Amino acid sequence: MNLFQFLRPAPYAKELEDQELVKKNYRYWRLRTFFAMYIGYAFFYFTRKSFTFAMPALQTELGLGKFELGLLGSMLSLTYGASKFISGILGDKSNPRYFMSIGLILTGIFNILFGMSSALWALALFWGLNGWFQGWGWPGCAKLLTHWYSHSERGRWWSIWNTSHNLGGAVIPLLIAFCLDQFGWRYAMFIPGTLSILAGFYLMSQLRDTPQSLGLPPIEKFRNDYAEGSRVEKEELTTKEILWEYVLRNKYIWILAFAYFFIYVIRTAINDWSMLYLVETRGYTNLTAGVCVFWFEIGGFLGSLTAGWSSDLFFKGRRTPVNVLFTLGILVLVYAFKFHSGSVPVLDSIFLFLFGFCIFGPQMLIGVAAAELSHKKAAATATGFAGCFAYLGAATAGAPLGAVTKTWGWNSFLVAICICAAMAVLLLLPLWSVKTNPKEMRVKA
């Protein structure tokens, strides 16, 4: 009970009447909130990807085979995917200041405990627990992005925040390489873990809950940015309303969740298998292939920004047209890539840059759409539910896709990506003109 009281949403404060003070406070808290959650989520990637880049050393020093290493990787994917949904429900009923911070601190602790272990059962236990508390990062960000940034601007803010994935993903291999070179694999877990614990306390000091908890009006009222007409906002929804009315009975969320599954198959397949593909089909060295794959994250960084801004500026807050266009881009790229057979590192780098550009658009905007097509106060649950499907897709891109590739070759790998892109487009097309959930509008009108 005490823990629940500690984590529960901050109560609404009396609304400020001084409009100049409201503007000043909104400007300050929006920037402070955004910077803190951006840095915080980048550190979640430190404790999520630390094992990935320490795998060769674990194989050498602990004698773990590919099956054991794959088992550890699967453990994180499964616990993280399940946690995204469960923690989404909890996140909508919690204060992100503490929920997100505690999650980051615990992932740091479990990284350190993983680094202190040698037995497979202990490694699996601590890495599975790390995956579970990884799921505590997203709900807080979804809630904050929905409450502090209004509909017509949210795509831009969300797209900039989404680049924290790329920041964390780009820095962690450099940090791990330094730790491996200087201290060994255990410190490659200790140092990211310690940094993330410190970052968790930083988050706790910087974040706050909703604008109303600081005496500010709802963001829609402040910016006069209602999706449709004037609405009166309830202070809280019940868990049943959040889960049943706005997620499980919401056809839009189910469509987005299935589309997310296919997008994450593509994202994980390109991210995890490209280096091996280039080594085996192009004859590149590991270094040359690694340089090509580096451009995938750079493309993702720019693709997120472009997708978010274009959905706000060109499509007036509709996310699906951008998702469809970017996913069609993946289809075109796979077709061109399939018929490019020469060993030209510059050309392959361009392809991977464009793959990252197109993939990270829908990877980000499907999450935005899930938040907007559910309910403002169900954003974490809706995005967590869709995210659970996404990580089932990520798991499918591992062993199942590897088995397909082993049996029928790399052409079957590219065909599978084409099929996933086509399925995502077909699922998303019916949502082309949908901007908000009509049910929410009726309830809150």
For 234-249, write each residue's pLDDT tens digit: 556 777 788 888 888 8
Confirm if 52 and 394 have CB atoms less than 8 A apart.
Answer: no
The answer, yes or no, to whether residue 27 has pLDDT greater than 90, is: yes
Spacing of C-alpha 312 from chain mean position: 20
For residues 428-436, give the mean pLDDT.
87
User: What residue ranges of the chain are covered by domains with CATH 1.20.1250.20?
Assistant: 2-219, 242-444
What is the rounded CA–CA span in Å between residue 299 and residue 349?
10
> 88-102, 255-269, 391-405: which has the highest mean pLDDT?
255-269
For residues 212-235, give the mean pLDDT.
75
> 209-213, 292-296, 338-342, 389-393: which has the highest mean pLDDT?
209-213
Please enumerate in sequence order all residues whose Cβ is within 8 A of that of 216, keeping only pairs 6 or more positions apart, or say none: 15, 16, 22, 25, 26, 29, 222
Q: What is the pLDDT of residues 32-68, one digit of tens each?
A: 999 999 999 999 988 987 877 777 778 778 887 767 7
Q: Which two tokens stand for residue 35?
A: 């910077």
How many other C-beta atoms lie within 10 A of the C-beta of residue 315? 17
Burial class (CB in 10 A: 0-12, 13-18, 19+), 103: buried
The answer, yes or no, to whether residue 231 has pLDDT greater than 90, is: no
The yes or no reply on domain 242-444 and CATH 1.20.1250.20 is yes
- Helix (H) / strand (E) element for 203: namely helix 187-206
User: Which pLDDT score is estimated for 409?
Assistant: 86
* 3-state SS class at 234: coil
The answer, yes or no, to whether residue 253 has pLDDT greater than 90, is: yes
Q: Which of 281, 269, 250 is nearest to 379 (CA)?
A: 250
Q: Which region among 129-143, 234-248, 392-406 has the lowest average model confidence (pLDDT)?
A: 234-248
Give domain 2-219's CATH number out of 1.20.900.10, 3.30.70.141, 1.20.58.220, 1.20.1250.20: 1.20.1250.20
Higher pLDDT, 83 or 4: 83
If you average pLDDT over every residue of the chain, what do you get? 86
Q: What is the pLDDT of residues 352-365, one digit of tens each?
A: 999 999 999 999 89
